[in-house]
Amino acid sequence: MCGIIGYVGPEQAQGFILDGLATLEYRGYDSAGLVYIQNNEAHLFKTVSRVEKLRELVNSTGATASALSLVSERPTASGLEVDSDWLRETQTSRTNGTVKRVSQEAKPDIPEMLAESSALHSSRQADPEVVVGIGHTRWATHGAPLERNAHPHTDSDKQFYVVHNGIVENFQDIKTMLEAQSVTFKSDTDTEVIPQLLAYNYRKLGDVKEAFLKTIRSLKGAYSVVMVTPLSPDTMYAARLSSPLVIGIGDKENFIASDPTPIMEHTKKVIFLNDYEAAVITAESCEIIHIKKGKLAKRIPEELEYDPEQALLGDHPNFMIKEVYEAPQTVRSALLGRLRVEQKLIKLGGLELVEEQLRYIDRIIIVSCGTSFYASLVGEYLIEEIAGIPVEVQQASEFKYRVEPLNRSTMVIAVSQSGETADTLAALEKVAGYGVLRLGVVNAVGSSIARLTDAGVYCHAGSEQSVASTKAFIAQVTVLALIALYLSDGNTPLYEEMINELDKLPAKIEVILKLEPAIKKLAKKYIHHRDFLYIGRRYMYPVALEGALKLKELSYIHAEGYAGGEMKHGPLAMIDENFPTMALALDGELFEKTMSNIQEIKARGGPVIAICNDPAKLKDLADDVIKIPKT
């Protein structure tokens, strides 16, 4: 996921942008860049490397001799929230942080990087006190991770500088049209058409704002775009369609970013741009324009609340480990105020809002992507078994193109950590006209999905910085279990047992976390294998899929997840001594079946690591075992 950051105000924009980009690093990226405009002069920097390299380049040019870095102090209190309803939380989000400033040290390493500056004769007199700048972390989609493909992109005359998230679907049409006008493109990206088209429109209209709006109106696809130009040296121009942008309103300075994380240390007041909205932002003003209607939109800034503790790494080596260790607290937070063990009650304030409509639901479709999709599959099994309502889970990217009957007794649930995933948003938008009830199971408070749905239940997992989702999966499964119990209205023999088990879950996860040294040892033993299989049955099947995704994503080792029963229908052919299997062999009615699958694998010489409740039962069969508590 790419990241966008922007600043306009009296400070050194570069310092804020570099710190903002560092905050956005958690999204993953392969190149980074920034441009700032001071005294009508644009200074552009790019690197196919880390943000720290970009900082070195900026500092080494002498352009930022006094550049400042913003560092958060350690917070003192936790901001855990008790459950409150969807609407209230959706309208207010989070922040606050203490900021101190320290100066930077520069270690130049110029050869790998690009720095250039260009001056234009501006139609406006630059205010020497105001600096404007934008930055970007890029995850390559159109074009390899090369310097020429890194953002910001500019037009041939270096007038307009653009950062962009999303995809310009009609970029080829625009490019062809501009090439016919002798415009030469320098990059392989879809993004470059934006500044080039902007320059073309500006030549015709002679007005930056009008040229920007005209350009944005020509784009098809999904975008969040931020633009600066020496022609208007104290202004940022931004626009959004299906890709998030949030504006931070400061005191004589304003901010913009693709998510609130980098701005929340500086201001609590924010405006989340809606689809088809553009913004013209100076240090003292923020004008929002509806792109299609061309009219001003009235938007009142929201107050963010944020617990900065979540954003800090603490003693952990990386965010993923930190978040794995937060799993027990994640479950506690998801259950807090909702699981009333004494009263044997599930209280979901967000669903009470749509109580009446829920009575008529006879079919549920869950839409989601990636890890959230696998959590949704667990949710499917849970809701069907506990609440007896038929559920199907669809990958949002497929669902949006399917033609299928929907009616008012169907409910669509969107499951998403970020609440901003374009395919999941598009799936929700697709069902807008059918009168179906739309629920959200979302972690990010105030996110687009939270705002688009009729009701929902927040995951309360706190901020998930690691791109590899772990605690969000756990929170989603917990919340889906609560929804299943809520929908059952107590009419399931499992009701009490489930409530008691959910209550014990955090303590059981703590037991598993203590296994880290033993699991590390196992990882070292198997580190040289290049292929892994994960198998499980019933609830363990989606867990096997998620396990395989995590291994791929984090170690670049090929891994596949399969339902144990599918092994004999083809995949067994792959198994040999170089293809280990992670078998999810927990006690329960399907344990014997999983044992049979393990036998099949052993018969082909495949090593087996079993995750089980009772290692004695796997003696002489599994090569290694990881014992976890029974639930």
Applying CB under 6 A, the residues found at the interface with ligand M6R are 369-372, 416-418, 421, 424, 467-469, 553
* Min CB(520)–ligand M6R separation in Å: 21
* Min CB(421)–ligand M6R separation in Å: 3
* Min CB(470)–ligand M6R separation in Å: 8
Nearest CB to ligand M6R, comparing residues 151 and 471: 471
* Min CB(394)–ligand M6R separation in Å: 14
Question: 161-168 and 286-290: which strand pairing?
Answer: unpaired
Nearest CB to ligand M6R, comparing residues 201 and 418: 418
Number of neighbours of residue 489 by Cβ within 10 angstroms: 12
297: Cβ–Cβ under 8 A, 6 or more apart, which residues?
274, 277, 288, 289, 290
Residue 193 near residue 160 (C-beta atoms within 8 A): no
* Min CB(137)–ligand M6R separation in Å: 16
Separation between Cα atoms, residue 608 and residue 390, nearest integer Å: 35
Question: Quick check: helix, strand or coil at residue 478?
Answer: helix
- Single out the residue of 224, 264, 247, 256 nearest to residue 300, CA to CA: 247
Residue 126 near residue 233 (C-beta atoms within 8 A): yes
DSSP state string for 583-628: EEE-SSTTHHHHHHHHHHHHHTT--EEEEES-GGGGTTT-SEEEE-
Cα 542 from chain centroid (whole Å): 21
Nearest CB to ligand M6R, comparing residues 258 and 372: 372
Question: Please, how many CA atoms are within 13 Å of residue 339, restricted to the half-sphere of its CB?
Answer: 26
* Min CB(362)–ligand M6R separation in Å: 26
Nearest CB to ligand M6R, comparing residues 255 and 473: 473
102-125 as b/e: b if 16+ CB within 10 A: eebebeeeeeebebebbebebeee
Nearest CB to ligand M6R, comparing residues 308 and 370: 370
* Min CB(280)–ligand M6R separation in Å: 30
Instruction: Give the bridge partners for 533, in sequence order.
Output: 560, 581
* Min CB(398)–ligand M6R separation in Å: 14
Which CA distances in Å does 54 have to 111, 264, 294, 463? 12, 23, 37, 26
110: Cβ–Cβ under 8 A, 6 or more apart, which residues?
57, 60
Nearest CB to ligand M6R, comparing residues 553 and 623: 553
**Token pair of 506, please?**
């955090």
* Min CB(617)–ligand M6R separation in Å: 32
Nearest CB to ligand M6R, comparing residues 161 and 473: 473
Nearest CB to ligand M6R, comparing residues 177 and 467: 467
Nearest CB to ligand M6R, comparing residues 140 and 467: 467
* Min CB(244)–ligand M6R separation in Å: 11
* Min CB(316)–ligand M6R separation in Å: 18
Nearest CB to ligand M6R, comparing residues 444 and 535: 444
- Single out the residue of 187, 185, 148, 139 nearest to residue 166, CA to CA: 139
Q: Phi and psi dihedrals of 150, rounded to 5?
A: -70, 150
* Min CB(465)–ligand M6R separation in Å: 11
Separation between Cα atoms, residue 38 and residue 57, nearest integer Å: 17
- In degrees, rounded to 5, the angle at the alpha carbon of residue 366 between the alpha carbons of residues 360 and 372 is 145
Question: 221-228 and 236-241: which strand pairing?
Answer: antiparallel
Nearest CB to ligand M6R, comparing residues 28 and 143: 28
Nearest CB to ligand M6R, comparing residues 42 and 468: 468
Residue 278 near residue 237 (C-beta atoms within 8 A): yes
- In degrees, rounded to 5, the angle at the alpha carbon of residue 172 between the alpha carbons of residues 169 and 175 is 125
* Min CB(396)–ligand M6R separation in Å: 8
* Min CB(85)–ligand M6R separation in Å: 22
- The 3-class SS string of 30-89 reads CEEEEEEEECCEEEEEEECCCHHHHHHHHHHCCCCCCCEEEEECCCCCCCCCCCCCHHHH
- In degrees, rounded to 5, the angle at the alpha carbon of residue 263 between the alpha carbons of residues 259 and 266 is 165
* Min CB(367)–ligand M6R separation in Å: 10
Cα 331 from chain centroid (whole Å): 20
Cα 571 from chain centroid (whole Å): 32
Nearest CB to ligand M6R, comparing residues 47 and 371: 371
**Token pair of 346, please?**
């599930």
Q: Phi and psi dihedrals of 238, rounded to 5?
A: -140, 160
Residue at shortest CB range from ligand M6R: 370
Nearest CB to ligand M6R, comparing residues 47 and 448: 448
439: Cβ–Cβ under 8 A, 6 or more apart, which residues?
351, 354, 411, 412, 413, 414, 453, 454, 455, 456, 457
Nearest CB to ligand M6R, comparing residues 321 and 621: 321
- In degrees, rounded to 5, the angle at the alpha carbon of residue 462 between the alpha carbons of residues 458 and 466 is 120
